[in-house]
Structure 1
Amino acid sequence: MKVAVLDDDKAVLETVAKLLDEAGFQCATFDNGRQLVRTLHRETFDLFVIDWNLPDLPGLNVLEWIRNQIGAQPPVLLLTNRVSDEDLVAGLRAGADDFVTKPYHPAVLLARVEALARRSTMNLSRTTETYGKLDFELTSKTLRLSGEVVHLTPKEFSLALLLFRNLNRAVSRAYIFETIWGMDPDLSTRTLDIHISKIRSKLALRPENGFRLTPVYGYGYRLEEHLA
């Protein structure tokens, strides 16, 4: 799981990254909010740990940007020395999933991050995932549309499942390549575009069928629900 850690204190960044790396998370660190936002235009993360008090772009503003531009799915944990009820309410309304107050105990921070990670992946242990008329049978890697088998290659199945698991959320090309192809250096962006085109056709991802798969310029792709 890829985690973005944002804090202007270099010592905190190093400590948190080391803690999460040792627990099996893949961490990227950022010491200012604008740097993280720029990175989010080309990369995708599964979970965020964000300091509320930042000098350039407050953590709450970064959180609001994530919710407005990426969506409600990726969990966000705020690090803060604010303890008033008003501040906590403001953070929750902005989209925070949890808080850890500074100074924090490493075990508490890790436990809260792990809890958010479990919550975001708890449905991934199912043997079947259903999205509208589409049923993903995970054990056999079979996809059915209205009960009829859709013939997909293994990569097409994995890519389609990745997009549906990130429904209504833009997913970067870099994240797709890393997740589906393992960052094979011989791959071209054309490879992804061809797979996207085949998935769109085979799964009938058109507005009249409830879903729309569109490119996000300079970033990647977004699969959206389309309500009539």
Structure 2
Amino acid sequence: MHIAILEDDPVQRELLTLLVQQGRHTCKGFETAAMFQAGVQAETFDLALIDWMLPDGNGGEVLQWLRKTVGWQLPCIVITAREEEPVTVAALEAGADDYIVKPAKPLELLARITAASRRARPGQLPVLRAGEYEIDITRQRLAMAGQPMELTQKEFDLAVCLFQNMGKLLSRDFLLDKVWGVSTEVDARTVDTHVSRLRRKLKLDGTHGWKMVSVYGFGYRFERVDG
């Protein structure tokens, strides 16, 4: 998922960013309500994490604006250091889907993100995002830098498998099982051929922030290129 983080404290914002990324999500941080409002109108997000106390307002005002402007399809979780019951009630009445008291516990935060998204989109498969790449599993579409890519069904299935396992060492047997099925008659060379084609089509050489790394005698790792 692609998550908007509204948090004015740079340390807390960086911490939330790290936690979100550990859950294999992408995100963008905003330090004021005004910046957040401009951001969600210019870019599509799957969920928002909103601090309650802000330099130019509060989370309740942001939530009310969000529900009137964007609607109810965007799940929102309020994160704040205040745990008084009136604040919790105010957040939920303003339109929050959930509420977390700082400091956010990593596993709890990721679980609540998943739960809020699931409630908002029951039965809907996710849109996977990583930098300039976006995969809409439901519509069977993959875009790079906003441009739809032409892929065969197996290339698309392989791309989904890779984006769902970013940073992991994947054997050829694992990819054969996930993409072609356990009863397939094809061999490991088929995996190599499709990986080569996908690497070329999607430019997975590091130029767009991601690369496909061959691991001799084993398989592949799909990883981010920092810097």
TM-score (norm 1): 0.54
Q: In the alignment, is residue 75 of structure 1 matched against residue 75 of structure 2?
A: yes
Higher Cα Rg: structure 1 or 2?
2
Deviation at 1:184, TM superposition (A): 4.4
Deviation at 1:16, TM superposition (A): 0.9
Deviation at 1:70, TM superposition (A): 0.5
Deviation at 1:75, TM superposition (A): 0.6
Match of 1:183 among 145, 164, 170: 145
- Give the Cα separation in 2 of the matches to 1:180 and 1:186: 6
Deviation at 1:72, TM superposition (A): 0.9
Listed as ranges, the matches of 1:1-228 within 5 Å are: 1-124=1-124, 181-184=143-146
CA contact (8 A) 1:8 1:54 kept: yes
Q: State the secondary structure of the residue aligned to 1:13.
A: helix
Q: Give the counterpart letter for 1:35 in structure 2.
A: M
- Give the Cα separation in 2 of the matches to 1:71 and 1:60: 15
Q: State the secondary structure of the residue aligned to 2:57.
A: coil
CA contact (8 A) 1:5 1:13 kept: yes
Q: State the secondary structure of the residue aligned to 1:114.
A: helix
RMSD of the TM alignment (CA)? Answer: 2.6
Q: Deviations over 1:187-228 (max 9, x none)?
A: 9xxxxxxxxxxxxxxxxxxxxxxxxxxxxxxxxxxxxxxxxx
**CA gap 1:75/1:184 in 2 versus in 1, 3 angstroms:** closer
Q: State the secondary structure of the residue aligned to 1:35.
A: helix
Q: Give the counterpart letter for 1:105 in structure 2.
A: K
- Give the Cα separation in 2 of the matches to 1:118 and 1:78: 17
Q: Give the counterpart letter for 1:52 in structure 2.
A: W
TM-score (norm 2): 0.54
Q: State the secondary structure of the residue aligned to 2:43.
A: coil
Q: Deviations over 1:37-91 (max 9, x none)?
A: 1112211211000100111131221111110101011110001122222222211
Q: What does residue 155 of structure 2 align with?
A: none
CA contact (8 A) 1:53 1:80 kept: yes
Bigger relative contact order, structure 1 or 2 (CA pairs below 8 A, ≥6 apart): 1
Deviation at 1:186, TM superposition (A): 9.7
CA contact (8 A) 1:34 1:57 kept: no
Note the residue ranges of structure 2 that are not aligned, 5 or more in a row: 126-135, 150-227
CA contact (8 A) 1:78 1:100 kept: yes
Note the residue ranges of structure 1 that are not aligned, 5 or more in a row: 126-157, 163-178, 188-228
CA contact (8 A) 2:81 2:101 kept: yes
CA contact (8 A) 2:142 2:148 kept: no
**CA gap 1:185/1:110 in 2 versus in 1, 3 angstroms:** closer
Deviation above 3 Å: which 4+ runs of structure 1?
179-182, 184-187
Q: Deviations over 1:127-165 (max 9, x none)?
A: xxxxxxxxxxxxxxxxxxxxxxxxxxxxxxx8xx79xxx
